Structures are given as C-alpha cells and as structure tokens.
Amino acid sequence: MEKIFNLRNTVIFVAVSAIWKIFLSSILCLHPDEAYYWLWSKHLALSYYDHAPMVSYFIKITTLFSDSELAVRFSAIITIIILSVLIWKLAMSLFENEIIAAGSVMLVHSMPIVFSASFIITPDTPSFLFLSFATFYFWKFIQKENGNYWYLIGIFFGLALLSKYTAVLLMLGVGIYVLMLKKYYWLKQYRLYIGLLISFVCFLPVIYWNYENSWVSFAYQLGHGLGRKGYRINYVFDYIGSQMLIFSAILFLPTMYAAFRYLFSKNSQKVFLASISLATILFYLFTSLKKSPEANWPIPAYFTFAVISAKYFLESGQIKKRIFVFSIIFNVVLSVIAGLHAAFSIVPLDKISKNIAVAEATNWFYGYNTLADKLLSENVKYVLTPSHQLSAEIAYYSKNKIITHADSQSSKKSQYDLWGKPSVFDSKMPGAFVYETSENNKTAPYDATLLFKNVSNEDDFCDIIRHRTVVRQFKIDKVLN
C-alpha cells in the first residue's frame, strides 16, 4: 500500500483535484445559493437572515479585484487545500502512519461532494475550515493536556460559529469524549472556560445582530433544521442514502460500524475520532426523523470520519485494502463523469427521459446569464421575483445594472425582506416580474397584477435549453410601479 498511499502521490492527487475545481469554477454559472451569498458580500453586515456572516466575508476578500465566478468561489478551493494539510497532520499525529494519512486525504478528495462540488462557496466552506482547526487543536490538547490549547480551540470554535450555527455540534463531540473516557477533571480547568468565553466573544456580533432584528435568524434556523411536526421514517433512509452517495457508497456503512467500535474501545485516539464524527452524523440522523437534512450538512464530520475509514480498511487484510482503493477509484470516476457532464452535458439524459433531463441537479449551473442578458436587452431597470436566489442571480449576471428584490409573499422570507423594497420600484421606469414556469404549462403560478398597477399583456418567455431540451423556462411580465 505504501506505493499508492504516500506523501508524493497525495500531493499530486490534491494538486490535480485543485486544478479540476479551478476549471469547473471558471466555466459554470454560479449556483443560486452562491449568487445569494455574493449579494451578501455587497451588503456586509454582522449577520444575515439565513445564516451567520462568514461566507460573505470570504467572498468579499476574494472578489476585491474581480467578480468572476472563479473569484467568488476561490476561497472554497483554498479551503480544501488547507484541509488536506490538516487531515494529514492529524492522522500523522494520531497514528504516525503515512499510509493512513495519505489514505485519509485521498478519501476526502475523492468524495463526490468534494472532488466535483467543493468549489461551490457556501457557509459550509468556512465552517468546515474552522471546525477542522478546532478539532485538530482539541486533539493536541488531548495529546499534551496543555490547557493553553483551549484558547486556540476557543478562537476557531468561535469563528466556526460565525460561519454556521451548527458548528455548536463540536461541543457535543467534546462532551461525548469526556463522558466515554471519564475526563471529568477537565471541567475544573479555568482555561476551558476562558476558551468558551473567547468563542462567545467571537460570536457576539451575530447575537447582537439577532437582538437588533427580533432574533429572526435563530428562529429561522430552528424551523429550517428541525422541520415539521410528526415523524417520517423514510427521511432516515433518504439521509443514509445521501451520505452513502457523497462519502462512498461502499465505505460509509462499514466506517459507521468501525466508528461505533472505536467509541467503546477505551483507546484515546479512536474514541476521539469516533466522538467528533458521530456527534454530527447521529445528530442529523435524529433530525431526519422530522425532516430530510440536506446532503452536505454533516460534511464537517468527515474530517475525522475519513481517518476512521482509512485506519479501519488500510490496517486490515488485503481484501479490505483493495475495497478501499477501489472505492477511491470509483468515487473519482463518478466525480469526473459528473463534472464533465456539468461542463459539457456528456450524458444524453434527454434520450433516456425528458423528465430526468429537466430535473437533474447540474441544471442549477445554467441559464441565469441568458436570462439577465435578455432582461438587459429589453431595457429592464428593476426586477421582482418570488425567489431570493433568482433575484440574486439576475443581480449578479446583470452586473448590478438591474435592481432586484424578492417577494416573500410568493415564497419564503429572506435577507431581501430586511433590506426592504428599493425606491426604484415606485418609479415609472420599466421593470419586470420574473418567475419560473413550465414549457408544458404556461398558466402563471403568480399574479403580477396583485403586486403592480400596470402589467403588460404580452407573453414574454426566456427558455434555458440544455440536452436539446428546455430545462427551465422563465416568464417575464413587464410592469410599471
């Protein structure tokens, strides 16, 4: 295995993966979420309706000199490179085994959601980065029991909370470790509480912003994450299936088995890895009883979960080692096909099923520049849509030449509600109400006359064509005040 899993091959693997992400970042339209976060970076604040603010700061830094798609996404690419170094250092510190360290890094990079999707900038990007630093220094504290590490843990934990509220799950992982190995005396160390105070100070801007805005962000996230009343067991299977898809269809369940074995092993290294991993994975498994979590939510757990997988498979017999190697190869092939399809539409889905061609996920990276160009060509000065993401895409691809707003009466609330309606909407300049409709059903799902005094009777559509198929269609209602 040392001929495959070594430092040289790991560096090559990470470099090739980074080049692949740069390529995809440069040619694909921004995902609707990315456009929304880019818009945040143009309105910097202490926090936002949907999330903590760190993602907007990352985008602001990388777009100081350019607003290209690559610039918007560049911090995501840098983050995964930094994480590769951290994973290597953590695995070496834990087991002093280059094969396990290399296997851990390669496994993370081969994961479909990392190899072909980690270029997408979301709140998970800074959250994953800072949580990984906090986790790394928590291990350093365990290893040396030097209380000064609590200060570093506190800083990175606070920055992780500034990135995404669910970073708080790290505390659950630490608590599980303390419980499993009976490290109760840690709770008497004053440096631990200073570290927690540092985290609180880092997070204070978000608390203050929520106080100023009636706690809307905290309330939104509680409802968004925990879902509806009642329980549905099918969401649990959806969640497990999604994790098998993004981690490894072959390795996920055996690695879960290994993690539970490690949790009760009484071995410090193994309990550490299992505690941090299972705290997040099992939390979302529990919440999936009420709502299907998005596939990317447990990603921070994979910083340690990948190390568990590499150790479990690469320190076993030849069959398990071959399964591990095959899984990485399978992940890479699957990821490359997905990436090439996103870029060049190489899979003829329209010949298989038009419905599949319309519904497939990579369509999210297409069409918004076409829509913005059409609106600009028709001299539209402002746009209202029922979607904060669609409004953000139009703002981005019109280079902010079109003023946008989102109508929360037609869909869910967003940061647009806090920004308020722009004054241009009360002017007599030409505007448009834009919404997605269906090529087969042209019945308007929204009534523009309820929102505007003057609405054109002309039918105006913008078709987004891919796979020789209309995958998305936008209705444009011309309006005045």
Residue 457: how many other CB atoms lie within 10 Å: 6
The encoded tokens of residue 268 equal 């410090």
Q: Measured at the alpha carbon of residue 94, what is the angle toward residues 272 and 265, in degrees to the nearest 5?
A: 45
- Residue 252's pLDDT is 94
- Residue 117's pLDDT is 66
pLDDT digits (tens, 9 = 90+) for 241-276: 989 988 889 999 999 999 999 999 999 999 999 999
d(CA 108, CA 136): 16
d(CA 30, CA 412): 21
The residue assigned the tokens 């979420």 is: 33
- Residue 35's pLDDT is 96
d(CA 464, CA 472): 5
Q: Which residues contact 429 (CB under 8 A, 6 or more apart)?
A: 381, 382, 480
Nearest of 123, 131, 101, 130 to residue 14 by alpha carbon? 101
The encoded tokens of residue 34 equal 């990315």
d(CA 417, CA 212): 15
* DSSP string computed for 418-441: HH---GGGGSSS-EEEEEEE-SS-
Residues forming a β-bridge with 419: none
d(CA 64, CA 74): 12
pTM (predicted TM-score): 0.93
pLDDT digits (tens, 9 = 90+) for 146-199: 999 999 999 999 999 999 999 999 999 999 999 999 999 999 999 999 999 999
Strand ranges (E), 280-323:
none
Q: Which sequence spans correspond to the domains of the chain?
A: 7-227+307-342, 362-480
Residues forming a β-bridge with 403: 382
Q: Which helix (H) or strand (E) holds 469?
A: strand 469-480
**Distance (Å) of CA 52 to CA 61, 301, 377, 474:** 17, 20, 36, 31
d(CA 272, CA 266): 10
Low-confidence ranges of the chain (pLDDT < 70): 116-117, 224-231, 410-411, 439-445, 481
